[in-house]
């Protein structure tokens, strides 16, 4: 097992290119199962999660080639069973459920694993597929789907859950509905850019979809889809993480290959704190501000402030000489990083789903344990500004969602090293 040793205090400066989106790549790769033809996906980030998805596609019978960020898939003949050994390591593997249902009408997909950030059920995924006429049984940890051609039809349904719209649920239902007879109307659909990116790929494959990027998506089913080429959008969460790093320490950094519109909730929050940003067509620059003010944020579905940036803003709040609060409404239990930051000297009071951070205290390096993907990134950010040496253990969490994070930070001037226990 590897860990990251971060030597705090080294200033950051320079430019960094943002990789393709993890949360777009995974369902787009799964969508290649919808056709027998060849699909080419570009700017797929080199991550353990995308590696798992490529492996899942191969185990399901697809021919897959991967080189330099390009993944070529030909799923001419595919299997109907995705067993637990395949899907247990990554929650997003559930997104093969929709394509397998749409194309084969009958499949078995094990309930997935993934990082621990609270309850993340798939009931809305199943509800959506049942609305389309699929018969579903959950038995022994397996989801068994039978969608006879006569009953598998378009329908009107709502995917809004108690914590907002479900992104992967929207993805799954869309991918099944594109091959269902008739019209499907999804109310309460997720409006995230990653969902819109998937829709754009499906349209290139021949799907008929309207309303992408809104909470009402209309799908007119087609008989079959064909191959297509697609370039994945930039990863807005990686971009936001680097913006936090640039705000916390250094002389200013510029993130490139981004879509600023996708980062508006993050950039507006940074501006309200007093950070000065220069926003170009595909770039954003930021520098620290010693007189920055505290913030009061609540995580919401897009276009609100993203839950995937909550932990990084906790780290940012630690260096602002003021009081900040963050309320988590998407995954209320997603505060496992707080205890680790307190080991470094952070003054954080956690009450329910709200963290109150009194910033300004000097953080000190310490051994810390990453609990999930975004928490691990936040601990690295804290280590960049801490006095002395910080050891971030369970580095595999970072490798799930950040392409070569340590190398990119080192290129900006950070002093850190990846070592094996």
Catalytic residues: 115
User: Where do we find the tokens 């798992």?
Assistant: 52
Q: Is the peptide bond before 328 cis (omega within 30 degrees of 0)?
A: no
CA distance 298 to 308: 12
CA distance 128 to 347: 43
Assess contact for 306 and 332: CB atoms under 8 A.
Answer: no
Element (H, E) at 314: helix 310-319
**Could you write out the DSSP letters of every residue in 177-220?**
HTTSBSEEEEET----HHHHHHHHHHHHTT-EEE-TTSSEEEEE
- Beta-carbon contacts of residue 46 (< 8 Å; ≥ 6 apart): 69, 403, 404
CA distance 15 to 119: 37
Q: Give Rg (Cα) of the chain.
A: 21
The CA–CA distances, whole Å, from 188 to 99, 153, 212, 353 equal 21, 19, 12, 24
């Amino acid at each position: 097992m590897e860990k990251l040793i971060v030597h705090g205090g080294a200033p950051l400066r320079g430019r960094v290119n943002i990789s393709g989106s993890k949360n777009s790549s995974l369902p787009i790769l799964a969508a290649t199962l919808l056709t027998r033809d060849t699909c080419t996906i570009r700017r797929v980030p080199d991550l353990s999660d995308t590696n798992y998805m490529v492996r899942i596609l191969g185990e399901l019978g697809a021919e897959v080639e991967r080189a330099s960020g390009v993944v070529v898939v030909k799923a001419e003949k595919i299997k109907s069973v995705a067993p637990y050994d395949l899907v247990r390591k990554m929650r997003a593997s559930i997104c093969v459920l929709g394509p397998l249902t749409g194309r084969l009408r009958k499949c078995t997909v094990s309930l997935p694993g993934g990082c621990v950030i609270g309850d993340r059920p798939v009931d809305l995924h199943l509800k959506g597929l049942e609305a389309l006429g699929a018969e579903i049984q959950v038995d022994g940890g397996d989801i068994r789907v039978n969608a006879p051609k006569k009953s598998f039809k378009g329908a009107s349904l709502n995917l809004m859950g108690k914590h907002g719209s479900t992104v992967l649920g929207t993805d799954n239902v869309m991918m099944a509905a594109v091959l269902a007879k008739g019209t499907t109307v999804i109310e309460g659909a997720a409006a995230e850019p990653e969902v819109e990116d998937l829709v754009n790929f499906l349209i290139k494959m021949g799907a008929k979809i309207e309303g992408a990027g809104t909470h009402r998506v209309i799908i007119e089913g087609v008989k079959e889809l064909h191959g297509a080429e697609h370039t994945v959008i930039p990863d807005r969460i990686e971009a936001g993480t680097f913006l936090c790093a640039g705000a916390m320490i250094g002389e200013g950094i510029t993130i490139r290959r981004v879509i600023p519109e996708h980062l508006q909730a993050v950039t507006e929050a940074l501006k309200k704190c007093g950070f000065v940003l220069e926003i170009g067509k595909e770039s954003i620059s930021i520098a620290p501000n010693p007189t920055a003010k505290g913030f009061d944020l609540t995580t919401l579905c897009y276009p609100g402030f993203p839950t995937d940036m909550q932990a990084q803003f906790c780290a940012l709040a630690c260096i602002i000489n003021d009081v900040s609060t963050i309320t988590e409404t998407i995954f209320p239990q997603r505060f496992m990083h707080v205890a680790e930051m307190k080991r470094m000297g952070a003054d954080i009071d956690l009450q329910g789903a709200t963290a109150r951070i009194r910033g300004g205290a000097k953080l000190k390096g310490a051994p810390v344990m990453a609990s999930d993907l975004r928490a691990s990134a936040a601990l690295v950010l804290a280590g960049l500004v801490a006095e002395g040496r910080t050891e971030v253990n369970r580095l595999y969490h970072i490798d799930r969602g950040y392409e070569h994070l340590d190398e990119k930070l080192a290129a900006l001037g950070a002093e850190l090293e990846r070592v094996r226990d």
